[in-house]
Amino acid sequence: MKKLLLNLSILFMHTSLMAEQPKDWQLGFQKAASKGMEDIVWFHDYMLLPIITAITAFVLFLVIYACIRFRASRNPVASQRSHNTFIEIIWTLVPCLILIVMAVPSFKVLYSQDEIPSADVTIKAIGYQWYWGYEYPDENIIFDSYMIEDKDLKPGQPRLLSVDNEIVVPVNKVIKVLITANDVLHAWALPSFGVKRDAVPGRINETWFKADRVGTFYGQCSELCGIKHAFMPITVNVVSEDDYNNWLVEAKEKFAKDYKHRDQKIVKKIIKEDIN
């Protein structure tokens, strides 16, 4: 019975993990897990795709029509027409209108990504050759996150996407991510949240997401950063508020950043030296 339950839990874990990562022969986006990504998917599926399809079909029709209607055998004497003011106005105005129609929802999505609501949790992601380092500045937590090698994978852990130390965040909370790099350009990207930002040495970029369901979500470094670029995945574990608080207690022990105490010691030392 115990074994059966274990197998079932592994099976469940596996399918739940499968939902948040790329699938074989996948064509579209990964399933959205945030409002930001839902907006992006809507913009792509109901705005860009229909417009692109219509334009492609129309141009194909024009090409075929011109080939048949204006073929040499049907027009032994070539037309001398060089321009037509009306049609030139039309083919300038219509693309302008299409661009304006596309720009409105596009800017809406862009600004919603850019304007960060007041954050519940702040995470700092630092790109290294070739792994990610994370910090929870408000919680005094710091840790590194390395990819798990094929030979060490446990059942249910996807290859090239699983890491040893996952980021843990609460569900339905605004997570602000500060992104930087320590050596070369990297990019912190998580498709299900619609998040992708360059990690630039000496500069801090920021982005945010609000995961709308519990689960494990996978992303990858998305800026070519060297020979092991493909081996620095990102794993985010979205959990309930209670589970997050439990994790915090554990993480504060396990990943404690001792800077606070060190800084206090340095201050004391400086004051002491100044007095003397």
Residues near Cu ion (CB under 5 A) are: 186, 221, 225, 229
Q: How far is the CB of 235 from Cu ion (least distance, A)?
A: 15
Strands (E), 74-150: 121-128, 131-136, 141-145
Give the residue with the Cβ less far from Cu ion, 167 or 225. 225
Q: How far is the CB of 198 from Cu ion (least distance, A)?
A: 10
Instruction: Specify whether the CB–CB gap between 171 and 241 falls below 8 A.
Output: yes
233: left (phi over 0), alpha (psi -120 to 50) or beta: beta
Q: How far is the CB of 257 from Cu ion (least distance, A)?
A: 25
Please tell me the distance from the alpha carbon of residue 37 to that of residue 29, in angstroms, as a whole number. 9
Please tell me the distance from the alpha carbon of residue 132 to that of residue 220, in angstroms, as a whole number. 10
Give the residue with the Cβ less far from Cu ion, 186 or 210. 186
Q: Which helix (H) or strand (E) holds 275?
A: helix 259-275
Give the residue with the Cβ less far from Cu ion, 121 or 225. 225
3-state helix, strand, coil in the chain (%, to 5): 45, 25, 30
Q: How far is the CB of 99 from Cu ion (least distance, A)?
A: 33
Give the residue with the Cβ less far from Cu ion, 146 or 255. 146
Q: How far is the CB of 227 from Cu ion (least distance, A)?
A: 10
Q: How far is the CB of 144 from Cu ion (least distance, A)?
A: 15
Strands 233-239, 167-170: pairing is parallel
Please tell me the distance from the alpha carbon of residue 227 to that of residue 220, in angstroms, as a whole number. 14
Q: How far is the CB of 223 from Cu ion (least distance, A)?
A: 5
Give the residue with the Cβ less far from Cu ion, 173 or 229. 229
* Gyration radius of the chain's alpha carbons: 27
Q: Which of 241, 238, 211 is nearest to 35 (CA)?
A: 211
Give the residue with the Cβ less far from Cu ion, 221 or 238. 221
Give the residue with the Cβ less far from Cu ion, 38 or 183. 183
* Residue 47 DSSP symbol: I
